[in-house]
């Protein structure tokens, strides 16, 4: 090993690999070549190698980048616009009308860039998105350097983007074709929800997903009203309907899944469905508390998402991970539910597994891509430090995220964005605020 030379070394006071719960490496070093983790070196081993650059993080935790398993990035431009409303009131009377007036290629591109800047600054390296104007979202991901899953929304009713379900699907496939071969961009089919998508369209989505080898991303069982409406319209609960239509499979990422029976949990586990848990959005919209502890106990893969900034109102995955752990405890009245190490696993490896990229990211392991974040624990808010894993979940704030790498490329250094211009992002956001206010009257 004495002759080994690497492009980059990163040495940290603590490394949380997420390969094994509770394991922390002290003063170890990651060796990187071509954006990939080539070795994990002890202090003695590190002394025997050389590198083009060496980052020393003497007060930091180094860990996998966070995977935001459910978001609507462009909706960052609608942040705070219609707060303290019930979900359907929020959607039908405020958000959908606003989107009808404003959503465009430029809106999605600018909103996505703003969201990605915010997500980088809170430790997110992968976003699983769902919205319109998919090429704009993909371009934003490439411009920012974020690992981006572009969810192609599918509905039955017309919007400014498409006229009907077939039109949404046609545009999704056309825009997807423009980005084939991009390492950081992939596309998913995103039928919006059981209450906005017909049986025929769901069948088309299932067939297309198999033909094109695509994931499916859908809001399911978010509110009790959704379940009740399905019982009235279809005489069955949404999950039972979707199971009959063939939607339940390892391809499916089901967002929210708040209102579930024990039989439905068993059904989800049997079919290998992954779930995107959105604790803050569920609390803010009073949707309820998802049975995360039961889902995990049944072997269901549960990741964490922020939802959109219009319903959260921030895209802070560190905060979301904390909320996920705390909400599970109060929801079960069990303080041992979702311990800190499990919460970190949900926010990293579980999300990667849901997206089919656990062989590339989600943990720190030789051979995986270097999607990494560093969190400075030498702050008043995280002192004294008895347990770095506990501090990441229960004490650290997004402002302590100092460095972020995607594929080994630094996108945040000492809290400064390197691929995006912060002043430009704020100027774009303010320009949209002025435009939106003008049209809203």
Q: Are residues 10 and 95 in the same domain?
A: no
Please check whether residue 14 lies inside any domain of the structure: yes
Please provide the average confidence, as pLDDT, over all residues in the chain.
Answer: 96
Please check whether residue 433 lies inside any domain of the structure: no
Please check whether residue 422 lies inside any domain of the structure: no
Q: Are residues 79 and 219 in the same domain?
A: yes
d(CA 264, CA 262): 5
3-state SS track over the chain? CCCCEEEEEEEEEEEECCCCCCCEEEEEEEEEECCEEEEEECHHHHCCCEEEEEEEEEEEEEEECEEEEEECHHHHHHCCCCCCCCHHHHHHHHHHHHHHHHCCHHHHHHHHHHHHHHHHCCCEEEEEECECCHHHHHHHHHHHCCEEEEEEEECCCCCCCCCCHHHHHHHHHHHHHCCCCCCCEEEEEEECCCCCCCHHHHHHHHHHHHHHCCCEEEEECCCHHHHHHHHHHHCCCHHHHHHHCCCCCCCEEEEECCCCCHHHHHHHHHHCCEEEECHHHHHHCCCCCCCHHHHHHCCCEEEECCCCCCCCCCCCHHHHHHHHHHHHHHHHCCCCCCCHHHHHHHHHHHHHHHCCCCCCCCCCCCCCECCEEEEECCCHHHCCCCCHHHHHHHCCCHHHEEEEEECCEEEEECCEECCCCHHHHHHHHHHHHHHHHHHHC
Q: Are residues 236 and 382 in the same domain?
A: no
Q: Is the pLDDT of residue 95 over 90?
A: no
Listed residue (54, 51, 66) closest to 16, CA to CA: 66
Place of tokens 């180094």: 62
Backbone φ and ψ for 249, nearest 5 degrees, come out as: -165, 175
β-pairing verdict for 416-417 and 409-413: antiparallel
Q: What is the CATH number of the domain that holds 12?
A: 2.30.40.10
**Residue range 22-67, pLDDT digits in tens:** 899 999 999 999 999 999 999 999 999 999 999 999 999 999 999 9
Listed residue (323, 321, 345, 259) closest to 294, CA to CA: 259
Total count of residues recorded for the chain = 441
Q: Is the pLDDT of residue 199 over 80?
A: yes
* pLDDT given for residue 416 in this prediction: 98
Tokens of 130: 């769902």
Number of domains, the chain: 2
Share above pLDDT 90 across residues of the chain, in percent, rounded to a whole number? 91
**Residue range 395-440, pLDDT digits in tens:** 999 999 999 999 999 999 999 999 999 999 999 999 999 999 888 7
* pLDDT given for residue 441 in this prediction: 60
Please check whether residue 261 lies inside any domain of the structure: yes
Q: Are residues 311 and 399 in the same domain?
A: no
**Residue range 239-275, pLDDT digits in tens:** 999 999 999 999 999 999 999 999 999 999 999 999 9
Q: Are residues 151 and 208 in the same domain?
A: yes
Q: Give the up-direction half-sphere exposure of residue 162: CA atoms within 13 A in the CB hemisphere.
A: 20
Q: Are residues 92 and 134 in the same domain?
A: yes
**Of the candidate ranges 69-83, 125-139, 199-213, the one whose mean pLDDT is the lowest:** 69-83
Q: What is the CATH number of the domain that holds 323?
A: 3.20.20.140
Q: Are residues 184 and 75 in the same domain?
A: yes
Q: Are residues 60 and 72 in the same domain?
A: no
Backbone φ and ψ for 155, nearest 5 degrees, come out as: -135, 170
Q: Is the pLDDT of residue 1 over 50?
A: no
Please check whether residue 428 lies inside any domain of the structure: no
Q: Are residues 377 and 294 in the same domain?
A: no
Averaged over 227-231, what is the pLDDT?
98
**Of the candidate ranges 12-21, 94-103, 323-332, the one whose mean pLDDT is the lowest:** 94-103
d(CA 208, CA 48): 52
**Residue range 362-393, pLDDT digits in tens:** 999 999 999 999 999 999 999 999 999 999 99
Q: How far is CA 311 from the centre of its chain?
A: 15
- Range(s) of the domain holding residue 392: 5-64+362-407
How confident is residue 99, by pLDDT bands cut at 50, 70 and 90?
confident
Final residue of a structural domain among 320, 338, 354: 354
* pLDDT given for residue 94 in this prediction: 85
Please check whether residue 26 lies inside any domain of the structure: yes
Final residue of a structural domain among 354, 376, 394: 354
Please check whether residue 425 lies inside any domain of the structure: no
Contact 217, 255 (CB under 8 A): yes
Q: Are residues 194 and 338 in the same domain?
A: yes
Please check whether residue 144 lies inside any domain of the structure: yes
d(CA 396, CA 390): 9
Q: Are residues 46 and 128 in the same domain?
A: no
Q: Are residues 174 and 306 in the same domain?
A: yes
């Amino acid at each position: 090993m004495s002759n080994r030379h690497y492009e980059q070394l990163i040495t940290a006071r603590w490394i949380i690999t997420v390969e094994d719960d509770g394991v922390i490496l002290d003063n170890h070093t990651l060796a990187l070549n071509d954006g990939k983790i080539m070795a994990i070196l002890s202090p003695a081993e590190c002394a025997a190698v050389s590198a083009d650059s060496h980052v020393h993080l003497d007060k930091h935790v180094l860990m996998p980048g966070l995977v935001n398993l459910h978001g609507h990035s462009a909706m960052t431009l609608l942040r705070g616009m219609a707060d303290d409303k019930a979900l359907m009131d929020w959607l039908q009377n405020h958000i959908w009308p606003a989107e009808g007036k404003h959503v465009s290629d430029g809106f999605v591109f600018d909103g996505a860039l703003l969201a990605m800047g915010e997500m980088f600054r809170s430790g997110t390296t992968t976003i699983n998105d769902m919205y319109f104007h998919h090429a704009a979202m993909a371009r934003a991901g490439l411009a920012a350097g974020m690992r981006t899953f572009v969810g192609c929304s599918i509905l039955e009713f017309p919007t400014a983007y498409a006229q009907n379900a077939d039109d949404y699907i046609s545009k999704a496939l056309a825009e997807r074709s423009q980005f084939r071969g991009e390492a950081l961009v992939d596309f998913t089919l995103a039928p919006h929800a059981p209450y906005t998508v017909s049986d025929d369209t769901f069948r088309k989505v299932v067939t297309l997903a198999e033909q094109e080898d695509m994931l499916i991303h859908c809001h399911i069982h978010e509110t009790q009203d959704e379940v009740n409406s399905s019982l009235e319209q279809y005489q069955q609960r949404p999950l039972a309907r979707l199971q009959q239509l063939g939607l339940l499979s390892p391809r499916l990422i089901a967002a929210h899944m708040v209102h579930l029976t024990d039989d439905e949990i068993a059904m989800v586990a049997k079919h290998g469905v992954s779930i995107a848990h959105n604790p803050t959005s569920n609390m803010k919209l009073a949707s309820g508390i998802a049975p995360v502890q039961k889902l995990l106990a049944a072997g269901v893969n549960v990741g964490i998402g922020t939802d959109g900034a219009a319903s959260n109102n921030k895209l802070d995955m560190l905060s979301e991970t904390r909320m996920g752990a705390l909400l599970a405890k109060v929801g079960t009245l069990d303080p041992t539910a979702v311990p800190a190490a499990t919460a970190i696993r949900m926010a990293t490896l579980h999300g990667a597994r849901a997206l089919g990229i656990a062989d590339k990211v989600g943990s720190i392991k030789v051979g995986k891509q270097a999607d990494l974040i560093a969190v400075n624990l030498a702050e008043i808010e995280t002192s004294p430090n008895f347990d770095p894993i506990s501090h990441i979940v229960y004490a650290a704030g997004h402002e302590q995220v100092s460095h972020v790498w995607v594929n080994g490329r630094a996108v945040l250094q000492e809290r400064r964005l390197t691929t995006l211009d912060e002043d430009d992002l704020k100027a774009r956001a303010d320009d949209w605020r002025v435009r939106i206010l003008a049209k809203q009257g």
